[in-house]
Structure 1
Amino acid sequence: MNNMHSVWAKRFTHYIGEVMKYMRFIFTGHIAIVLVFIVGAGGYQYSEWLKVVELDFPAEWLIAIIVGIVVAFSRPVTLLREPDQVYLLPLESQMMGYFKKAMNWTFWSQVLVPVVLIIVAIPLLKAVTDLSAFSIWVTVLFVAILKWLNVQAEFYYRFANRGHAVLFDRLVRAIISILAIQMSLASGFMGAGFLVILAFYIFTLVKKVANNPVPYEHFIKLEQNRMMGFYRFANYFTDVPHLKGSVKRRAWLDAVYKSIAFKKGNTQSYLVYRTFIRTDDHFYLWVRLTAIAAVIAAFINIPFVTWIVVAAMAFATTLQLKYTLMHAGDFRMDMLYPVPRDTRKQAVAKLLRQLSVVQAVIVMLCALMQPQFYLIPVVMIVVSEITLRMSK
């Protein structure tokens, strides 16, 4: 297998199969229903806001900033694996053909997000600007070209610098992209000058990487981190056998442990609280679902829709945390300690009840400006308690 095109084809086929294997667990029926409610409620809120939006609203700058940041984040998808830094060395002269395939896939897999953002913003642009439909659709094409240039720029920058100071590179490209989109919306083809700047930047990077060895270590680590992020997300919906969790001490939460009295009966409570706080998968799962519920509650003023969404978030939080905390397969010291078997179940239930209260309070505070916000914590706590009692 000395043809890099066939190497990419086999890697890509395996990658798509791996993604689809877990995506069928993520987008299940109940998730689809929640998404329909969210999209419908969001669309209704958006249309109602457009009726009262001020004519001097800075729509062009707002769209340029959001889309520009999204466009600048163009992490390459290379599908490289750890053995490649040894077994692909004899084929290093052909690697640019492989990387061109990788950049093509990176572009097509990422361009949809900024293009959709621009399309969603079309009603706002028509409401507060005098842009023609032709000018707006030209901007959509402009954003796609801008994304392609950013994909090329980030790849060659990483190739040339082994990923060092990539955040500075993204910041510079984000500023250029924001100005390019704003100029495109405000002055038509004036934004094309920024495309020339990016093209010249890419040209200098290409010359810099000429005849340089491929930074396999950097691209492999980048690919491993990208796939691990996908596996962690998929693990919220189904079990991912080869997922490696990470642990981090959060010193600012040490006070939580002090609230647990030092006695034999609290052995499991201390262990469960410590596991939740220090395990990234558990902690960030709660943070993400709480943040989603809070954002939706803050911006959607249709009580029925808000109740459905926050109830779904409370259900998902309780169910997934209960499963992960109760069914951990690793050896624990409490297995050798003479404490009753049901104390872990009691400790997990105590933690989940406290987390549901904290989650409900945070979401309620974010929804203070919405009608009947006081019912949100009731819905979340009740759903969490029912889930806790009825789930195995």
Structure 2
Amino acid sequence: MKYLRLVFNDHFVLVLIILFGALLYGYSQVLKSLTVSWWLVPLVALALSLVGQLGGLASLAEPADATFLLPQTQAYSRYLFKARRYSLWLPATILVLATLAAWPLIGVVHHTDWTQLVTLGVAVLVFKDLELWLRLLRLYRQPQIAGWGRLALWGGEWVAIMLGLWWHPAITMALALAVNLLFRWHLTTWFTPAKLDWLGMIAQEDHRMSRIYRFYNLFTDVPGLSSGVSRRRWLDPLAKLVRRRPERLWDFLYVRGFLRRTEWSGLTLRLALIGAVVEALASQWWLAAILAAVVVYLIGFQLLPFYLVYDEIVFSQLYPNQDRLPAFRRLVARVLGGVSVALAAGALVANWVTALVVLGVAGGVSLAFCVWYLPWRLAPKQA
């Protein structure tokens, strides 16, 4: 909860609302023009079965547990049973939302009422419950059963959902309950509390938490975790575009830093790709123009802290300070210019007129951002 307050800040919530509205509008337009085809049911079933694979087992184990809780290995299984139930809440919420989102698409195939929707939702939750049992079984030195079992479960879930969508979701429910009960019947044979792999469980939990903290690190600094600096030789041609001249010291430093530091270049690349995909889905030119303006502004706003990234390096104080703001402004102009081209390329999927409008709006916002907004925001910091 501490980090979520920083992730869902005002700007990110604003862009999520706009993206959510654009996706809903595009989804409604697709449903109006969609006709019944043979591939529709397998596609919906595949999407629901893949969503069912999201969410891992959160054991919350720490390295010290392998030493201090080792004598309690037998009793620790009761805690892991509770951890498995706790781990079900988040994927269950995602599965419910995914089932609700698929309801209008299922209605294209055949008429469904709310009872069939509830039956399908409960069936995919039963499959997810079994998938978490397999993840738990892997911690007790049963990798073959857990590994091949998850693969077989995914294939079986896909087939069961297809059968339910073709005839009735009660078929999916019956198959899910049968497989779940059969697994629980054999669970006592496979489950041996004394065989808990403490080191494997701790490594798995550490990997899970690292993924979460790396995501948080895109929005704020996480103690003990940093995105790091990576040498990317394949980007050297871009860095060489800035000449090594005394009056361009800050240009060279900012360009190199932007290309090497993953928290800035990676964030820009991801937002640009997401924006290009959304532009490709936007069917109205005015909606595409608004989205382009929002994406360009958000990327430029996220780059502003990069201006101060070298303040703690004492040798940067030897650089001429009067060249710093113009150099940073040139960097932001180049980045936003590239983002504008990427957004226009995404809008080109719709038509060339929309692409020209997006390019003009994104370029205008980039120009206004670099000429007026950026100096105004950074002037106090420069002083």
Rg bigger for which structure? 2
Measure, in 2, the Cα distance between the counterparts of 1:64 and 1:32. 30
Q: Which segment drifts farther, 364-373 or 224-233?
A: 224-233
TM-score w.r.t. the length of structure 2 is 0.82
1:248–1:279 contact (8 Å) kept in structure 2 = yes
Equivalent residue for 2:381? none
Structure 2 SS opposite 1:21: coil
Q: For the aligned residues, what is the CA RMSD?
A: 3.3
Equivalent residue for 1:55? 36
Note the alpha carbon deviations across 1:327-371, whole angstroms, 9 max, x for none: 356647x438x4323545444333222221221111211111156
Equivalent residue for 1:351? 331
TM-score w.r.t. the length of structure 1 is 0.80
Structure 1 residue 149 displacement after superposition: 1.4
Structure 1 residue 207 displacement after superposition: 4.5
Measure, in 1, the Cα distance between the counterparts of 2:146 and 2:226. 26
Structure 1 residue 325 displacement after superposition: 5.0
Alignment counterpart, residue 134 of structure 2, candidates 130, 149, 153: 153
Alignment counterpart, residue 166 of structure 2, candidates 186, 190, 193: 186
Counterparts of 1:1-392 in structure 2, within 5 Å, are 20-56=1-37, 58-160=39-141, 172-188=152-168, 189-191=170-172, 192-193=174-175, 196-197=178-179, 207-208=189-190, 210-324=192-306, 326-327=308-309, 331=313, 334-335=315-316, 338-368=318-348, 369-370=350-351, 372-385=354-367, 386=369, 387-392=373-378
Measure, in 2, the Cα distance between the counterparts of 1:278 and 1:70. 34
Structure 1 SS opposite 2:265: helix
Measure, in 2, the Cα distance between the counterparts of 1:132 and 1:118. 13
Identical aligned residues as a percent: 24
Structure 1 residue 119 displacement after superposition: 0.9
Structure 1 residue 135 displacement after superposition: 2.6
Structure 2 SS opposite 1:160: coil
Equivalent residue for 1:3? none
Structure 1 SS opposite 2:62: coil
Paired letter, 1:186: W
Note the alpha carbon deviations across 1:172-200, whole angstroms, 9 max, x for none: 54333322322222243444446655765
Paired letter, 2:46: I
1:64–1:181 contact (8 Å) kept in structure 2 = yes
Measure, in 1, the Cα distance between the counterparts of 2:140 and 2:361. 51
Structure 1 residue 107 displacement after superposition: 0.8
Note the alpha carbon deviations across 1:86-105, whole angstroms, 9 max, x for none: 33223322221221222112
Measure, in 1, the Cα distance between the counterparts of 2:276 and 2:136. 36
Measure, in 1, the Cα distance between the counterparts of 2:11 and 2:321. 34
Change (3 A) 1:89 1:63: same
Q: Which segment drifts farther, 200-209 or 63-72?
A: 200-209
Q: How many equivalent residue pairs?
A: 370
Structure 2 SS opposite 1:391: helix
Paired letter, 1:260: V
Structure 1 residue 285 displacement after superposition: 0.9
Note the alpha carbon deviations across 1:185-219, whole angstroms, 9 max, x for none: 22434444466557656777874551454434443
Structure 1 SS opposite 2:321: coil
Structure 1 SS opposite 2:159: helix
2:73–2:193 contact (8 Å) kept in structure 1 = no
Paired letter, 1:280: T
Measure, in 1, the Cα distance between the counterparts of 2:149 and 2:264. 32
Question: Runs of 5+ in structure 2 lacking a partner?
Answer: 379-383
1:45–1:300 contact (8 Å) kept in structure 2 = yes
Measure, in 2, the Cα distance between the counterparts of 1:342 and 1:202. 71
Structure 1 residue 53 displacement after superposition: 1.1
Measure, in 2, the Cα distance between the counterparts of 1:221 and 1:361. 43
Note the alpha carbon deviations across 1:295-315, whole angstroms, 9 max, x for none: 211112233333333322222
Structure 2 SS opposite 1:72: coil
Change (3 A) 1:78 1:340: same
Structure 1 residue 318 displacement after superposition: 1.7
Question: Runs of 5+ in structure 1 lacking a partner?
Answer: 1-19
